[in-house]
């Protein structure tokens, strides 16, 4: 399943997620700090989405109240919820 998430409060404006059940097959950030987002994409491939949510939820960037990792946790939560309903 592929899920597209529009971010809020970050330099990245969209995150595309591909899941196989709860396993992250692929993630792509549109925008954001290229080195950091590519690193995140590489590190989480093959991991369980629920584990990534726990680690990234609440991570803050420059007192914005969110960050690319935090937005990814929100995107993964929404993707899992969407997947369970369909």
Question: Rounded CA gap, 83 and 63, in Å?
Answer: 32
* Mean pLDDT, range 6-32, rounded to an integer: 97
Residue 84 has pLDDT above 90, yes or no: yes
The average pLDDT across 66-84 equals: 97
Residue 78: its pLDDT value, please? 98
- Whether residue 25 contacts residue 3, with contact meaning beta carbons closer than 8 Å, is answered with no
Residues whose CB is less than 8 angstroms from the CB of residue 49 and which lie 6 or more positions away in sequence, other chains included: 19, 22, 23, 24, 76, 79, 80
Model pTM score: 0.95
**Cα-based angle 15, 18, 24 (whole degrees, multiple of 5):** 100
Domains annotated for the chain, with CATH where assigned, are: 2-85 (3.30.390)
Q: What is the mean pLDDT of residues 20-35?
A: 97
Cβ atoms of 18 and 26 closer than 8 Å: yes
Q: What is the mean pLDDT of residues 19-37?
A: 97
Percentage with pLDDT > 70 across the chain: 100
pLDDT mean over 21-42: 97
Can you give the pLDDT at residue 86? 86
């Amino acid at each position: 399943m592929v899920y597209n998430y529009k971010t809020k409060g970050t330099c990245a404006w969209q995150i595309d997620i591909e899941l196989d059940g709860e396993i992250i097959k692929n993630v792509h950030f549109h925008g954001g700090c290229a080195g950091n987002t590519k690193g995140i994409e590489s590190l989480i491939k093959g991991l369980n989405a629920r584990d990534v949510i726990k680690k990234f939820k609440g991570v803050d960037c420059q007192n914005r109240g969110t960050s690319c990792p935090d937005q990814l946790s929100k995107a993964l939560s929404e993707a899992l919820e969407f997947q369970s309903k369909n």
